[in-house]
Structure 1
C-alpha cells in the first residue's frame, strides 16, 4: 500500500486539504459517519478516539482523542448542518470539554467535506473556514495540518483493511 500525499493550501481564512483514496466513495463516506469505523482511524498517529455521542443526521458528534503515550485528552464537538449521503458533510467543529461545552477561547471551524469519484478512487476535499486568518494560523501552529495528514494516513490503512477483509470474507 502506497502512502498518498495530502495536498494542503490556504486561501484567506480557509484551510483546504485534499486526499485521494483507493476505495469506493460509499466506503469512504461510511467511514466518516459510522462510530465504530471512526474510532479506528480518526486522530493523529498515537491517538485513540472515543465517541460519547455520534448522531450525524441531524445531530452532534461529541468525542475525545486520547494520546496512548501520555494519556493527554483533546475533546471536540461537531454539530452537523448539512448531510448529503455519500457526497457531503457540513459541520461546525469546536474544541469542547468532556461535557460537550464548547471552549470559547479556542477557534470554531466551519468544515465542508466533499466526497467525489475519480475513476476507481475517491477524493476528499475538506474546506475549513475560520472567523479570522489569526484563528487559522493558531490551528496551523497547533500542528493540525500534520495531525490531519496523519489522520488521513490512518483512514487510508483502515479503508485498505476493510476492502481486504471483504475480499477474504
Structure 2
C-alpha cells in the first residue's frame, strides 16, 4: 500500500505525503514510538538512520545520524512540539552538525504526522512538512526530499509485516 499521494503546495509552504498501511493505528504508531523500528524506515534505504536520542513527548528531543553507502553521514534533530499517542505527533525538524547541534544556515521545517483508522484494519498516515519560506521548500525539494521520503516510507510495509 504505502505512499498513495504526495503534494507540494508552494503557496501554503507545505509538502504532504499520504500513505496507507494494512495494520491498525496502534501498530503503525509503533514505527514512530520505538526507536529501533523508526531506524528501519526513517531515511531512504541507502541512507539508514541511527537514533541516538528518542524522547517521544512534548519538549522531547530526537537525534539521529544517517549513513550513506560510502560512509558519509548526515545528522538531524527533532524537537517534539506535540504528542497525542497513538494518533498525532508534531515536531520541528532540522539538520545537525557532527555533535548533534542544529546547523543555523539550514532550514528548519515543522512536521506533523496524523494516523487515522481507514477501515478494515487499515491506517492512513498523513505527514505534512511546513517550510519557513518558498526558498527553503525549493532548496529541500531540490536536495531530494520528495524522493527520499517516498522511498523511506515505502519501507514501513515490510516493517509492519515483521510484527
Q: Same fold (TM over 0.5)?
A: yes
**What residue number does 1:167 align with?**
none
CA contact (8 A) 1:42 1:155 kept: no
Runs of 4+ in 1 over 6 A off after TM superposition: none
The TM-score with structure 1 as length reference comes to 0.90
Number of aligned pairs?
159
Alignment partners' CA distance in 2, 1:4 and 1:62: 25
The gaps in structure 1 that reach 5 residues or longer are 163-169
Matched, 1:140 2:138: no
Q: Residues 6 and 149 of structure 1 are in contact (CA less than 8 Å); yes or no, is this contact kept in structure 2?
A: no
Partner residue of 2:106? Answer: 106
Structure 2: how far apart are the matches of 1:87 and 1:95?
Answer: 26
**Equivalent of 1:9 in 7, 20, 42:** 7
Q: Paired residue for 1:155?
A: 156
Could you tell me how far apart the structure 2 residues matched to 1:48 and 1:132 are?
Answer: 28
Task: For residue 116 of structure 2, give the secondary structure of its aligned residue in structure 1.
Answer: strand
Taking structure 2 as the reference length, the TM-score comes to 0.93
Say which SS state the counterpart of residue 74 (structure 1) adopts: strand
Pairwise CA distance, 1:36: 1.3
Whole-Å separation in 1 of the counterparts to 2:113 and 2:41: 16
Match of 2:115 in 1: 115
Structure with a larger share of its residues in helix: 1
- CA RMSD after TM alignment: 1.2
Change (3 A) 1:5 1:112: closer
Q: Is the 8 A contact 2:44 2:151 kept in 1?
A: yes
- Show structure 2 runs of 5+ residues with no match: none
Instruction: State the distance in 2 between where 1:6 and 1:74 align.
Output: 27
Match of 1:60 in 2: 61
